[in-house]
A and B are shown apart, each in its own frame.
Chain A
Amino acid sequence: MTPQPNALEIADLVMHFGPVRAVDGVSLTIPRGRVTALVGESGSGKSTVGRCVVRLVEPTAGTVRIAGTDVTHLSRRRLRPHRGAVSIVFQDPAASLDPRMLVGEIVAEPLRLAGKRISRRDRDARVAPQLERVGLRAEVARRYPHELSGGQRQRVSIARALISEPMLLIADEPTSALDVSVQASVLNLLADLQRDIGFACLFITHDLSAVEYLADDIAVMYLGQLVETGSRERIFARPAHPYTQALLSAAPVADPVRQRDRQPVLLGDDLPSALDPPSGCRFRTRCPLAFDRCATEVPAQTAIGDGMAACHLVRPDGTGPDVRTADPSEVLS
């Protein structure tokens, strides 16, 4: 049996916008049917990675392979046959749905763009089950987006993204613009669809509790680079990189008794500029454990299980200091 290609393979991806180094050497693989969460703060470049994958922008360097096909520099025309393999759902459904199109036209548009000429009746027949699959009634096809609630609109975006039966779904902050009670239904829907259909998913978010709920694997991004990757279980139980540790400690848990015992690691406010990232380790300017080597030497990626951490303090066996408990003076002794 020949091994099936991975849903997504990104190698050494670089995306510079003029002098802004938004993505600076990211490598990431998502096997078929797995959900990988890409987490990081605003400005970390996580959305840009998603936009490179669906080729909304053409990467500066590196390669993007979807289902084994190198799509990095394909022209619009050559890209078209591969468009159906990957879809994207954006954060704000009010902005990503054309207000002048009927929901039915919106959901069917990927079919039209794929160049398939289909009759109106066939189209409606394809759209109805899509809407049903995302929990909307078929009549919604004859409505305009403004007639729907935020949660319903996001369901329309998901239906549109899935009509081409993609192997890979990019979900860029799909629940961030929604209220808590609506978020729950969209997260449940994504989990159900993913389990039933089995598409792979790159789930881009800053919401760590949603990550824990939905993801199989996690990649943590900081200032254009990945600092840690690994399974959900390992990252939440034993985060190795000081940044991952700080991120997890800073997100408050919705339980006052537990929250009182937690001590957030305060990083200070200044995310360095992507115009001129720090030398060596990019996290060193905010890292409580940084020492002289961090300024001069880019940390290598130390393998931990299936993942890695890029930090000088992580030992070859994957263990290292924890900023949540460590006294910085002891780490270096």
Chain B
Amino acid sequence: MTTASAPVLEIRDLSVSFPTETGTVSAVDGVSLDLAAGEIVGMVGESGCGKSVTAMSIAGLLPGSARVTGSVRLDGAELVGARESALRRVRGREIAYIFQEPMTSLNPVLTVGRQIGEVLQVHERMSRRAARARAVELLTLVGIPSAAQRVDGYPHQLSGGMRQRVMIAMAVACGPKVLVADEPTTALDVTVQAGILQVLRDLRDRLGTSVLIITHDLGVIADIADRVVVMYAGRVVERAPVDDLFAHPRHRYTAGLLSASPQPGRHAGTDRLTEIPGLVPVLASQPDACTFADRCPAADEQCRAAAPPLEGIGGTDHVAACWHPCTAAPTAAQGANR
């Protein structure tokens, strides 16, 4: 999806590091990303690739020990280094979050209505009565049946899927411009997941909310994302419109991920999953080299000597950080060793 208007959220060269006893750990290294109005961007990567830290740093949710550099602009306003009071006005109202496990994000001793209402009372200065009425509307919006009764229920009385819907209702209560969803369906069964993804799509269509969805599940990405950002060891290695990414992955890591996941019609008797040898590198100071080089079938001296820039291919919005990007069809590229 390309829009002429300026992006709602602009992330430029964002880096996050944490001081530890054994030295500085660089969790995110130079991530850039735009989110247009009404766009759903999927961020995919394995554990420890920095996707959640990137998400948390957008609205300054990281602990004070984190060193954040670079720029995050919401409608042009800089958030990195902004005062806590300014961030507090942004959080919940302009940028809202939902997380993986709704039970730990909800307060078990407050009714669902009170929790959603609190957001409205704080940010919109609504009366308690008005906030409760709005909470019922929001619960209906996210597909909770008999919302008028559920609003007085407690989180433990709801199923996992319903709790996640309550989280979404709370997140969109103030009509945020950006919704950051960090593994929103990972703890849920597939039949419930399908419903949650449908709710997120509906919100985008009806309210025009931009969504950044973070997941390790390529099926979820294929289902909901307009564009995809692939992260590896703290860096963006590839960014592309969703169809383009799945049909023609350029980075060797992306191609590896795609052929590592079992797909419909693949069976062990006739087919073999592609393994990515080796381990994700330990996050330390980021080397001036391709972080995937040690696991890459196409790596050579150049890859170990300099970090590849994130470059466009053929003037499209498909970019990859690879000195030797895949050129052929994805499956063929797997077998080919340059």
Contacts and interface: CB of A to CB of B under 8 A. Distances in A.
Interface of A: 41-42, 149, 179-181, 183-185, 187-188, 191, 194-195, 206, 208-210, 212-214, 232, 236, 246-247, 249-257, 259, 264, 266-271
Contacts of B195: 266-269
Interface string B240-257: 001100110000000011
B191 A247 contact: yes
Contacts, number: 138
Contact of A180 (B159, B191, B261, B266): B261
A234 to B, nearest CB: 14
Given A179-B47, A255-B222, A213 B194 contact: no
B216 A252 contact: no
B148 interface: no
Nearest to B160: A269
Given A42-B189, A254-B218, A267-B191, A213 B266 contact: yes
A185 B274 CA distance: 8
Given A214-B268, A255-B246, A266-B194, 12 more contacts: A179-B46, A179-B47, A179-B216, A180-B257, A184-B276, A185-B275, A191-B272, A252-B223, A254-B263, A256-B225, A256-B243, A269-B162
A152 to B, nearest CB: 9
Given A252-B223, A256-B243, A184 B191 contact: no
A40 to B, nearest CB: 9
Contact of B223 (A181, A212, A259, A270): A259
Interface string B212-228: 00001111111101000
A213 B262 CA distance: 6
B189 A183 contact: no
Contacts of B268: 187-188, 191, 194-195, 213-214
Given A209-B263, A212-B267, A259-B222, A251 B190 contact: yes
A181 B257 contact: yes
B262 A209 contact: yes
A250 B275 contact: no
Contacts of A149: 279
A305 B331 CA distance: 35
Contacts of B103: none
Contacts of A184: 260-262, 273-276
Contacts of A212: 262, 264-267
B161 interface: yes
Contacts of A236: 264
Contacts of B111: none
Interface in B173-200: 189-195, 197-198
10 contacts: A41-B190, A149-B279, A184-B275, A208-B190, A209-B219, A209-B263, A252-B194, A269-B159, A269-B160, A269-B162
A264 B219 CA distance: 13
Given A180-B216, A254-B222, A213 B190 contact: no
Nearest to B185: A252
Secondary structure at chain A's binding surface: helix, strand, loop or mixed?
A: helix
B41 interface: no
Contacts of B242: 256
A181 B222 contact: no
Interface string B118-129: 000000000000
B218 A250 contact: no
Nearest to A175: B262
Contact of A250 (B193, B267, B271): B193
B258 interface: yes
A99 B124 CA distance: 52
Contacts of A252: 190, 193-194, 197, 217, 219-220, 222-223
B219 A251 contact: yes
A195 to B, nearest CB: 8
A181 B275 contact: yes
B275 A246 contact: no
B84 to A, nearest CB: 35
**5 A-B pairs with least C-beta separation:** A269-B161, A191-B268, A252-B219, A184-B260, A254-B218
B243 A257 contact: yes
Among A181, A187, A194, A264, residue most surrounded by chain B Cβ atoms (within 10 Å): A181
Given A181-B257, A213-B268, A252-B222, A41 B243 contact: no
A253 B263 contact: yes
Nearest to B193: A250
Contacts of B221: 254, 256
A212 B221 CA distance: 20
Contacts of A210: 262
A230 to B, nearest CB: 15
A210 B268 CA distance: 10
A255 B220 CA distance: 10
A269 B192 contact: yes
A208 B261 CA distance: 11
Contacts of B145: 268
Contacts of A214: 267-268
A253 to B, nearest CB: 6
Contacts of A256: 221-223, 225, 242-243, 246
A266 B198 contact: yes
A181 B159 contact: no
Contacts of A266: 191, 194-195, 198
Contacts of B159: 269-271
